[in-house]
Chains A and B, each alone.
Chain A
């Protein structure tokens, strides 16, 4: 039961498809990147790659370039990470009790702590490869699972938990083999808050950052 070839209809089909391509073309041409944000994985990639690029750049290597390098890295990180959300979530109930000035100061201190703790760790980077495995979106939250592959050690699964903000998807938690970075600090903060209240926590954070600064100048 073969259909007879209908030249007329084929022409129409061609016209329609041409029109369709044109629409598609115009759609992509006119689409501003700000409106149609790409997925969480696409937003995560430049952040991680940006950090790696800076770490691998010989122009920023060595101990004497430390400050410039950190500044550059923090520049990339602050675009990909939502430190406000992190500060809010890590404090939990206490966040609602403090005023905006305290919030601002806490965010500043906590960001510094993370910077000190994790950029120091990052600086030991030795060419591991990051493989993006899976992505899951649920409302305004997303999880992107990656595997850090390096020679000689078993692969390390790292999941980035992200939230959708006005400037795309931003990371608010890092989960390594089930261990959540944010929850770890949250539990510590909770214990300190219970005993020493908010002022005590601020003091502990200040001390820790001073300790890291002292170590850096050593």
Chain B
């Protein structure tokens, strides 16, 4: 892999240099966030207007919860999702449920019994680190320049200091939080509607937009470019899935336990969670790219 990299460097020397330059710039942008602990008022040109919009949008975000009279008006909340495929979705939900109890859960339990938590946690880090390109691309596409910088900084720090991404010194030492983004979210920010709700076999809850996003994201993952073998890719995917499950063993079981109709509960969790993330992006993106407004907060 190192060989390929050096030949790449030679062949595309100019492009690489340019790319590196851009990436370094991003990294600096990402790190700059960490130095903004001094909350001074700076009345430079335009920043005043900027703060005003930031404040307004923050009001909006919390006001959304307050103006949510999801109760008084039944017809409004009825229109908030489209699930015409409910009968089919429920079949796949049952299928996933069986898959969970018959295959995933036993495998995950056996795996947890054999592999200690620390190692599973590190594997989780590694898997996460490897998918950094997806987050980088989507942060840029959503014009979250600062977050893109943080993603890149995290990737560089964790790949080197964190030994190929098994550790997470970027978070522990440098306090750089993960910035998860995916293409479904990007499309949402761009104004693409959710489409119908889907419960996909194996993959679980999704909707038309996010399922499309998922397919696109697969092409930003380095796996596609370094591994040709489809079986190996599938192995990697299921392995990382089992690993993730072994780290969060209770999530699905708790959802099932506390709900009266797990299918509905999961659908609602999925839709609420995705909408909040997209809404959050819309209202935050401008303020985040302005370092001056960050200073004024």
Q: Which residues of A contact B (CB under 8 A)?
A: 88-90, 92-93, 117, 121, 134, 136, 138, 141-143, 145, 154, 159, 161, 173, 175, 177-180, 182-189, 191-192, 204-205, 208
The count of residues in chain B whose C-beta lies closer than 8 Å to any C-beta of chain A is 32
Q: Which residues 238-297 of B sit at the A interface, judged by CB distance below 8 A?
A: 254, 257-261, 264-265, 267-269, 272-273, 275-277, 279-280
A200 to chain B, nearest CB (A): 11
The 10 closest A-B pairs by CB, nearest first: A178-B276, A89-B71, A117-B258, A179-B272, A138-B66, A136-B62, A188-B261, A188-B264, A184-B268, A141-B66
Q: Flag if A136 contacts B273 (CB, 8 Å).
A: no
With A138-B63, A154-B178, A187-B268 already in contact, the answer to whether A192 and B273 are too (CB < 8 A) is no
CB < 8 Å neighbour of A92 from B62, B74, B177 = B74
Bound CA–CA A90/B268 (angstroms) = 14
Say if the beta carbon of B113 comes within 8 Å of chain A: no
Q: Flag if A188 contacts B265 (CB, 8 Å).
A: yes
With A145-B62, A161-B66 already in contact, the answer to whether A191 and B74 are too (CB < 8 A) is no
Q: Flag if A159 contacts B264 (CB, 8 Å).
A: no
B162 to chain A, nearest CB (A): 16
With A121-B254, A136-B59, A145-B62 already in contact, the answer to whether A192 and B261 are too (CB < 8 A) is yes
CB < 8 Å neighbour of A88 from B67, B71, B178 = B71
Q: Flag if A136 contacts B272 (CB, 8 Å).
A: no
Among B62, B178, B259, max chain A CB count under 10 A is at B62
Q: Which residues 141-196 of B sit at the A interface, judged by CB distance below 8 A?
A: 177-178
Complex: chain A residue closest to B81, CB-CB:
A187
Complex: chain A residue closest to B261, CB-CB:
A188
B204 to chain A, nearest CB (A): 16
CB < 8 Å neighbour of B70 from A142, A183, A208 = A183
Given pairs A92-B74, A136-B63, 11 additional interface contacts (CB within 8 A): A92-B71, A93-B74, A136-B59, A141-B66, A143-B63, A177-B276, A178-B280, A179-B269, A179-B273, A184-B268, A188-B259
Bound CA–CA A159/B74 (angstroms) = 24
CB < 8 Å neighbour of B264 from A90, A173, A191 = A191
Among B71, B257, B280, max chain A CB count under 10 A is at B71
Q: Flag if A187 contacts B178 (CB, 8 Å).
A: no
Say if the beta carbon of B49 comes within 8 Å of chain A: no
With A121-B254, A179-B269 already in contact, the answer to whether A159 and B62 are too (CB < 8 A) is yes
B-chain residues with CB within 8 Å of residue A184 when the two chains form the complex: 259, 265, 268-269, 272
Q: Flag if B269 contacts A161 (CB, 8 Å).
A: no
Q: Flag if B65 contacts A183 (CB, 8 Å).
A: no
Among A92, A138, A188, max chain B CB count under 10 A is at A188
Q: Flag if A143 contacts B268 (CB, 8 Å).
A: no
